[in-house]
Chains A and B, each alone.
Chain A
Amino acid sequence: MKRVASLLLCACLAAGACTAQGAGDRTVTVFAAASLTESFGALAEEFEAEHPRVRVRLNLAGSSRLAQQIVAGAPADVFASANEATMRTVTEAGRAEHEPRVFATNELAIAVAPGNPHGITSFADLARDELTVVVCAPQVPCGAATERVERASGVTLRPASEEQDVRAVLTKVQAGEADAGVVYGTDVRAAGERVSAVRFPEASRAVNRYPIAVLTGAEQPEPARWFTEFVLGPTARKRLLEAGFGAP
């Protein structure tokens, strides 16, 4: 019953028809990078357990798309981006309440089929002719990082496709359509048994730093600040490290 009520509440909020205060609960809307899907899902639950009157509503998608939506006036309270360049879109539009703070870092890894049947051991291997490689488009953070690694290593990839977010790349590898995909190390870990990871040293040349900020015009500025502090705090740090993120 409670579940149904909270679902209804969410629907209400989405429609902008009523506010959370009416029911005594407060809902904070968090826009977060697709690569944070599992981590923020778990963090939101822990946060809600600590703050019983506050609900966290997550909107997970490619960071660049989320940033565009926020600049266009999307009703979000908090933004967690997969890189600082994308966060800058939001700060330059005057929508960040404070200087964004980095809460995690992430490195690229190569996702391959379980057991690595093609014997991929380095980033340079991805340039092999017979391999179907899928990457992120340069417009999104994981694609920007991939480009930096290409420049740093002097390896030029000829991808079969440039996807819009890191999860789409992972899906193509899981489906067996791509032999290898360049994603974040955390994505490979989240995918469990369905893919294997190949780590490569050049990844350290393009470490993504994940900033978080409370947004100006937030409908729930107070819980938004609590959530942001929570993500920057020790409990969240522990969870993020477990998920494979690096410390800032």
Chain B
Amino acid sequence: MPWPLWIPAALGLALVALPVAGLLLRADLARLPGLLTTPAALHALRLSLLTAALSTLACLLLGVPLAVVLARARLRGVRLLRAVVLLPLVLPPVVGGLALLYLLGRNGFLGYLLAVTAGVRVPFTTAAVVLAQTFVAMPFLVVSLEGALRGAGADYERVAATLGARPLTAFRRVTVPLLLPAIGSGAVLSFARALGEFGATITFAGSLQGVTRTLPLEVYTKAEVDTDSAVALSLLLVVVAVLVIAIARPRAWEGTR
């Protein structure tokens, strides 16, 4: 490895690590346990973990088939389809929130339909939080899966087909097991992204303790008046995120190598 690479590499690391260190230095460690166990903090943590888990599940149920279709389908326009699916990766989350609002809000056509036929209101509910998180997190799963699918090739599936397996059986018994490591890492990425989701949530779901105010929203609320607890909650988010990435990702990666 050429040694000059160390310089930009170190700068790059510093750019990420130093602000987090700043957060640590600013934190009042003695008061940390107290700040993290206030009812508001606990509500936010519980809500965040619950919604991130649910949206990861939704990402898996919808994202795995989507990735397979994008990687395997021989359709015209798949390229365009992929661009649409990956849109949330590049859109500002607030735009995602607005888009959801204009679909599922009271004046959105689906929202209107739901309200009239089922009496269901989506914005301002925990379901809205899950939807917002799924919207921004799913592309992460699709991207990592699609790459793995292309890398793996379709040979095993073809062989399974020549051995008489129906397409669904081949998918269940061959494709999915092959993809498991990639699914694992994609799920972890989605979970981490869902945990950090802010813009789409506050736009589409609003902010109410215990219902829609997830950890990032609680940090935003607290930053207005109580910097100490905002910093404490930020640290908590950092710790959870690091744990998620450190524990789950490498394990998920092992199989892909």
On A, residues with C-beta under 8 Å from B are: 62, 64-65, 68, 132, 134, 137, 139-140, 159-164, 172, 175-177
Contact = CB atoms under 8 A, between A and B. Distances in A.
B223 A162 contact: no
Contacts of A68: 223-225, 227
Contacts of B38: none
B206 to A, nearest CB: 3
A159 B206 CA distance: 10
B105 A176 contact: yes
> Would you call the interface of chain B mostly helix, strand, loop, or mixed?
loop
A162 B105 contact: no
Contacts of A159: 208
B237 interface: no
Interface residues of B, number: 23
B47 to A, nearest CB: 14
Given A64-B225, A175-B107, A177-B106, A164 B206 contact: no
18 contacts: A62-B224, A134-B206, A137-B221, A139-B226, A140-B224, A159-B208, A160-B208, A161-B205, A161-B207, A161-B208, A162-B206, A162-B208, A162-B209, A162-B221, A164-B220, A164-B224, A175-B101, A177-B106
Interface of B: 101, 105-107, 121, 123-124, 202, 205-209, 212-213, 220-227
Contacts of B224: 62, 64-65, 68, 137, 139-140, 164
A132 B225 CA distance: 27
Contact of A160 (B107, B124, B226): B124
A112 to B, nearest CB: 14
Contacts of A134: 206
B227 A137 contact: no
Contacts of A176: 105-107
B124 A161 contact: yes
Contact of A162 (B107, B121, B207, B222): B207
